[in-house]
Amino acid sequence: MESESILPDWASKPCIMGIDEAGRGPVLGPMVYGCLYCARSYEKTLSTLNFADSKTLKEEKREELFEKLKANELIGWAVDVIDPRELSAKMLKKIKINLNEISHDSASGLVTRVLNMGVLLTDVRIFFLLRGCGCMWIQWEILRNIEIKLSERFPSIKFVVAKKADSLYPVVSGASIVAKVAISHSFDSSKFFLLACLFFVQLNRLQETGPCETGYLMKQLKNMTRNFGSGYPGDPETKSWLEKHQHSVFGFPSLVRFSWGTCTSYSKNMVEVVWESDKTEEDGSSSSSGKRQLKLSSFGVTTSKRKSEEIESSGKSRSKFFQSRKLEQLANF
């Protein structure tokens, strides 16, 4: 989602961009990065448009400002919507990608997208939220490293990365409104919500009686409550929604970021899954059963070191590289 793709005349002059995010902390829904850009000469005028950090504004006011922003031909904007499943998949990879890295990649992607449109970006200001990063000095060091990394990738652009950029720079305040409205629309969209719940309902129906009929499916979808509160882990409404909409085998609807620690407490209600590894061949012998079982009792939960990794690293099970390629040891050719 972005403003009109036709490049305006002012875009060929030095431009400034602001970037902000929305939905970093919730356990439900996507995370959105939004950007707003305009000519450097328009920056002073931008400060008179009453943009403010979107978190300080009511939803009606944000919508009103967003409509004005869209109608303003001297402003451009774009968003990057990161799906909950993508967030969880990256955070549960063997080599994990944390939220800071995901945020950096999203911001870089927005800069690249706008540059590819032909906009002459010379300055970019980014709001970057740091959680669990220790003292102020460590946070400052992290922000400076982000600036250096972005400057190395885009040497012609001057970057400013700050924790309070959304209240310091009007161009970032505008980006904050873009991101917040975009994530609000993603939740308000019946299409987004139906897609998130559709698979979940189908699984329940298939488990009971086989393929579901359209009428039954629509009835079940109507029973799916949207009263999930703020979506933040500490919200009682959100916790209640998660408890009601979990599946004993397949976990949660795709609306849920199942890599979040909040989902761990629900693992006790999940069905235990047992995997059978290939028989060990490293020492040329096998166990009495010829197989080794790995129990995964917590669906969608990440741990410091997974059991399968412990077994593989101990030499008691064959490497995943050989298992996935069906490679066997040969004693004779």
Per-residue model confidence as pLDDT tens for the chain (333 residues): 566 668 889 999 999 999 999 988 888 888 999 999 999 999 889 888 877 656 778 888 889 999 998 899 999 999 999 988 899 899 888 888 988 889 899 999 999 999 999 999 999 999 887 665 567 777 778 888 889 999 999 999 999 998 888 888 999 999 999 999 988 887 665 444 544 454 454 445 445 545 554 554 455 555 556 677 788 888 888 888 888 878 777 778 778 888 888 787 777 777 777 766 544 444 444 444 444 444 444 444 444 445 555 555 454 566 677 777 777 776 665
259, 260, 330 from 233: Cα distances, Å: 12, 9, 52
The burial class, CB within 10 Å (0-12 / 13-18 / 19+), for 116 is exposed
- 242, 266 contact by CB (below 8 A): yes
Nearest to 199 by CA among 249, 241, 237: 249
**In 3-state terms, what secondary structure has residue 294?**
strand
pLDDT, residue 316, reads 53
For residue 66 the two structure tokens come to: 């967003």
| Other CB atoms within 10 Å distance of the CB of residue 73 | 10
pLDDT, residue 239, reads 86
For residue 186 the two structure tokens come to: 């993603």
Residue 243 DSSP code: H
Which of 137-173 are b and which e, b meaning 16 or more Cβ less than 10 Å from the residue's Cβ? eeeeebbeebbeebeeebeebebebbeebbbebbbbb
pLDDT, residue 203, reads 46
| Other CB atoms within 10 Å distance of the CB of residue 175 | 33
Q: What angle do CA 80, 85, 89 make, to 5 degrees?
A: 105
